[in-house]
Structure 1
Amino acid sequence: MSSNALVQLALTATGYSQKELSLKLGVSPTQVSKWKKGDYISFEMEGRLRELAQIGDLDPDVVVSAGSLEAAKKWQRLIAFLANFALEGAETGYTTVPLQDELDLLIGATVSILKEIGAPIPPAYPRDIDLNFDDAWEDEATDCALLDAIEANPYSRTILAIFRALNDVYGFYAAYLCELFDREELGLMETPAENIEPGLIELAATKVDVDKDFAPHFGRFRAKIRADYEKWICLVKDKAFQAGVPLRAELLNLVYDSSDALSHKAEAESLGFNAGRIHPDIYMNELLVGMRVIHQVLPAILKKLGIDEEFKLDPSELSLGDFPRPEDD
């Protein structure tokens, strides 16, 4: 939340000057100036400013971006409808918690993504998606008209595509990553890897096909998000390797696989189809453990046999020699 946006909305709604606002709140004008520069604002003061601004629980940045409180409420209704619609269509076998939006974070995250890809929401709410969602699912003709309108508008179409991709991204996360954060031996908490879950909606946005004319900064956004996630996931893999915790999938698939591929992997996991499969990382871990055992045991055996000083390894004996090669088949 931007303290600057909240202060501006409170000033606009009340008509106060900055000095009058400070007197109303019982703080110094300097403190109000600090808030306008983005300084931390206490929970109590945030509540009082929200009351003065009359925005309820809405994200003040969204209200400022939307141009008015009424427009922000329309965006909120649209995003809530699209989130529920996408959630009902999830096929991964896992519940997409971010789309349930119990903390009212979805609208702020969505508007922020649109801004980052170069498609900030317009100052006036689009008329073509000023729809009555209360009548949804009443009859087939109304539903078709509503969904056609959503698909025709670039904002609602893109938001719905992001939410659908979030189903798949979150499903893979729930299947293969979530439990790793509960493993104390990995020590993932309070590391940059903590950013993985809260940023999943941004990663989902990178999976969407977006018109470059509509979102000119999309390529730059995708490169940044992918680079961040690659670092975070490599950190998880390193921690897992060091702790000897096997992974059940290639975690970097989360970054580079398509939404459909992630959905199939998550669904297979939720249905138990992968129960008998072992990820190559497990084999590699077993090989390394075996090599370490040999490295410790073999010298002791050679010494016990009294041949430790005379034994010389002949590298030529390690080649394929007369054994059949693949190309000989």
Structure 2
Amino acid sequence: MMSAFFISLLHISFFLLFQKTAITAAAAAATQLRPGFYAETCPAAESIVRDVMAKTMKREIRNAASVMRLQFHDCFVNGCDASLLLDDTPDMLGEKLSLSNINSLRSYEVIDGAKAALEQACPGVVSCADIIIMAARDAVVLSGGPNWEVKLGRLDSLTASQEDANRIMPSPRSNASYLIDLFSQFNLSVQDLVALSGSHSIGNGRCFSIVFRLYNQSGTGRPDPAMDPEYREKLDRLCPLGGDGNVTGDLDATPYVFDNQYFKDLVSLRGFLNSDQTLFSLDARTREYVQHFSRDQEVFFAAFVEGMIKMGDLQSGRPGEVRKNCRKVNSPPLHALLK
């Protein structure tokens, strides 16, 4: 007769074998991104997400820009796998409190709302990673920007890494040269960089992110010379030295409409963030695209769509699952099972 200890080990072994098989199959499926992935398993998935986005934008229009940013902050850190959405646990420091995300990213509850609606319609089918991709697209469309067909079929990560987020994500102080090198690591071109920076066509930025530009650019004790004087005076009033760093300002002159005004502002030296303005003021490689997009909105839209699709293709190849709750993994960790 088998002992209880042996039976427990047997159960764990079977569980691990099953989990390994499921993970192997899941990892293989993770590479098969395609439009219409949920056509049979959850045909209303995309319309459900868009409906949630439309309602949440009516409540607070800033949610559009905030949700769109989630795709970039998720995909650059170990691929588009919703690792960004995981809350911290006693055994894991997630990405929400990383240097680039803390007091900056918001609207996680919008993804929660879309997930809840999808779980009601199609339990256990649509991944949180795909919800981010769909919601980001819808945020653009509902703000007046271009529409496009998203590729779906991603899995949700089993872990997250604050260390990786700190190491990878750029700061608002970054310049064009640094960003070109960073994007190239993800096989994203200079055109992709400039077009995707156009996501700042909507939304707001914090005074904390620009106070150095206003009062101590590059340690000079003076403001950034690549700034229109009238615009600088406006920002001085908004963000006085020693003021509240969490006060927000518009990223371009039409902060709730997705258009090419952002690029027109850069040409006029009215870019809010240092990382934005240097695309025009510092590097000839990016300046060419800024000027082109400022003159032709349709060209910008086409390049933006291309960049979003390429960014959405980023995957780590790691095992994953479809989370029931975007903030936590489904399965208990191994050490809990052994205990």
TM-score, L = length of structure 2? 0.23
Identify, as 1 or 2, the structure richer in helix: 1
- If asked which structure has higher relative contact order (CA below 8 Å, sep 6+), I would say 2
Q: Which entry has the higher C-alpha Rg, 1 or 2?
A: 1
